[in-house]
Structure 1
Amino acid sequence: MANLKFYPATTVTNIETAIPITLDLKRGQYNNWATLFKLHALAHLVLDHIIPPTEAATTMTDAKTSTCKRIDAFVTQWIYSTVSSDILNTIIILEDEAKDAWNRVAELFQDNKNTRAVHLETQFTNTHLRDFPNVVAYCQRLKVLADQLENISAKVSDDLMVLKMIHGLKEAYAGFVTIIQHRGPLPTFAQARSMLSLEEESMKQRATLESGADSTLLINSNNNLVSGDNNSKQLQENKNENSNSISQNHGGCGWRPSNYYGSRGGLGNRGGSCGRGQKQHSAAS
């Protein structure tokens, strides 16, 4: 036991800062929670309160017994403060000792191992990327399920983790799957997860570039259509303007075909001159 005059555990005022995991039955992070808890207990000289030493305990004076009970209360409080309300309501007992509370939490996650293993393996097998917003969430779910299986002595090998990860991908990742499958040896799950994240980012960048190119093509196509419409409109305006010009030069002064006067005065060759034709026709008459 440590020096009874001072215990580091008594200085801890906010256990959540050291153990930022609230243990929950649904998320099943017992392995991580237990690891962090044991590390924190060891650092504060109270690990023996949850995991008793193998050697026989020595006889303690009344003063030492009182101090130990106080320290045990600190550790028990840490356990109660880092589990969900559902777990707390299940394990809490008046005048409980830390090791008993610790063991009851372990039983919640480690009893009925065979039944739990079947249930977790089914979830592991049926996990696919299509059910998650991105590869990070997908890989995290696989890791959580593998950790839960390890908690009940049904550890998933790293190679199996990698194979399950790539087989649960979408069709768009077919090229990536082929590359991983033909690598020997297979990358670790951590390496494959990093490679998959990079592949996802590359696919997003390609999609963005292709989207931008399609938008540019559409804009150019629309501009060409507008330009074509403007050209057609300009041609029509030019045509109308030419027609108006012809009408102003010929139709407004009584112009007639050259043979109009041909039958009366032999003026067929000069009938196109408005004023002179009429004058000569009058004189001839």
Structure 2
Amino acid sequence: MSVTNASTSAGTGKGTGSGPTGADGTKGPIVNAAPTVFINLYCTIVVRSHVPVVLDLKNPNYTKWLSFFRTMCGKFGLLHHIDDSALANLDDPNWVQADYSVKRWILGSDNKESCAIFLSNQFHSLVQGKLSVSDYCQCIKALADSLRDVGHAVRDSQLTLNLLRGLNPRYSNTADDIANVTPFPTFAQARSMLALKELRLATLYSTL
């Protein structure tokens, strides 16, 4: 849902024809009306009015907090922005605006420790599902970057382990191979090995 910014609603589109005639009879430049700007309602909400629970490390209440947070996202049609299996649509300005709004709710509504609880849960429960290897790795890296920003950096070995944990079962053999490599592969190395396996599987299925 969106509302139109009042400061721009006076214009109805681009101007047509010539501009105003000056005192000397010459035509002035054509002045186009400003484009209409849409402001999504969820960009201006106060999170605490929808999520009255503050995450607390000393009094674990993540489940209760998440219930309120999911309800708020559902109210504004934004559940797919906290669904790890949903694909990002970075080419859609509306999707990007919504995604930044949800991130602001998570990172800006409570203290860093509260944010870390939520992000850590998201990180350790992430699974590949139907995501490509590239998109799955991007999701893992984005969550790790967010954890770093709130003071809980993720080691590279943890990235690799979490990558293997949530893989689609069709990569189970490759995951075993990666886990048995010495020294333990970096996240970038594991991603490359899985991308190669994905390419081979795609080639195999295309010939069947």
TM value normalised by structure 1: 0.36
Bigger Cα Rg: 1
